[in-house]
Structure 1
């Protein structure tokens, strides 16, 4: 209780990552990809939806890595991941890849699956702290996600990498977010699921961190706090 009281006295701002921290990206993405597979692709392949999604994730993760390094633009990332997936299925159809991309971008943000305890935790924390989001995602999709999932009322500010001109774990992403919100390093906390991008990035910037690790992945880093459930934040703060 004493530590919780001290945290209350020193922390003013809590910054969250969005995808895979509050918004259940994997579940929402899977639902969308399955729907689009059966609507647009199933008649053209004998492959099961599960295998299609597995191949898509392989290409998506590689292209996201290139995007984060500045090697490709977001427009290329978006349709190229589907083009490469279809090619592996034996389908060469750029028009279909672009149709898939547009449908995925339009439909995925409409999904509303959040991690267990998200609303309860945000409701509790919002009574004591100013809550914000720092995301490497795209503004047009991330805004829709928080609106449709019903968490916009809890969020004071959201900063995207496009807006900041920097991506986490770059210091510029955190610096821009703090300046935008009026927060200071000493009274801010970063909560995220990605050890390198969210946690190590925030640590290098000088911010305290909460590593959200629901899969209990093993690592050698020592974050300020580590949790497996968002509800644990109620006991820390």
Structure 2
């Protein structure tokens, strides 16, 4: 199904759609562990344990943020407070210290999803491109810079900037207005079925799900396993 003649603007999610968040985050957590956790006198905490506990609490905090139950500032600190509490490190380290190291190092890593640059190079001469991401404005911009892809985008929108996060209709309404296009002239490419694709479709934006592991069995949406497959539609 070719969408080419209908589409004028393409928005991309950033984390795990263009920028390989999983890989980059592990590297940032390793740096954090080496600097702040590994040599604590409390000891006996291996990296995998630290990583698993942090990721559990980080995921829970992001879900709460997407439901608009907490602010970005609370998210940043609470995920580390919960991690420290579970690891029984309250007397040894502060959540703010962990967050500072993580937030500083995370966007410095450059790894992208397969064929990210290739597909952007292909699309940029045909469409206007934008980023629509749940995240912190400065951090997301630095990720784009470190990955060498900031030059491809006319518009960069973050939930931090808008004041609401996906799947809230407000952030999509803002993105539609900024694009200068009608919803039916916009494609949104993301990796999350609910907060990216269903939310976009609800606004009459065409959602395309990046699903490398083919986990989503829903046949009513457009799915791709690799970004390069966007050539089949655009």
Query: TM-score normalised to the size of structure 1?
Result: 0.93
Write the distance in 1 (CA, Å) between the matches of 2:202 and 2:161.
21
Cα deviation for residue 94 of structure 1 reads 7.9
Question: How many pairs align?
Answer: 232
What residue number does 2:230 align with? 233
Name structure 2 gaps, 5 residues minimum: none
In structure 2, the residue matched to 1:215 is 213
> Which secondary structure does the structure 2 equivalent of 1:43 belong to?
coil
Deviations 1:30-56 (A, max 9, x none): 000011101211122212101110000
Aligned to 1:115, the other structure's residue is in SS state coil
TM-score, normalised on structure 2?
Answer: 0.94
2:9 pairs, out of 6, 10, 13, with 13
User: Is 1:211–1:226's contact at 8 Å kept on the other side of the alignment?
Assistant: yes
Task: Name the structure where helix makes up a greater proportion of residues.
Answer: 1
Residues 187-235 of structure 1: CA deviation (Å, up to 9, x unaligned):
1111000000000000111111111001211343621x21000010122
**How far apart, in 2, do the equivalents of 1:233 and 1:213 lie?**
12
Distance across 1 between alignment mates of 2:134 and 2:207? 17
State which of 27, 36, 39 in structure 1 corresponds to 2:35: 39
Question: How many angstroms does 1:161 deviate by?
Answer: 1.4
CA shift at 1:95, angstroms? 5.1
1:83–1:94 CA contact under 8 A, matched in 2: no
Counterpart secondary structure, 2:39 = helix
Match of 1:69 in 2: 67
Assess if the C-alpha contact under 8 Å between 2:66 and 2:167 holds in 1: no
Give 1:69 deviation, angstroms. 1.9
Pairwise CA distance, 1:173:
1.1
Task: Find 1:189's aligned residue among 187, 190, 193.
Answer: 187
Question: Aligned residue for 2:132?
Answer: 134
Alpha carbons 1:83, 1:93 under 8 Å: kept: no
**Conserved 8 A contact 2:4-2:233:** no
Structure 1 unaligned blocks of 5 or more: none
Given that residues 212 and 226 in structure 2 are in contact (C-alpha distance below 8 angstroms), is that contact kept between their aligned partners in structure 1? yes
**Which ranges of 4 or more aligned residues in structure 1 deviate by more than 2 Å?**
93-96, 162-166, 218-221
Q: What does residue 201 of structure 2 align with?
A: 203
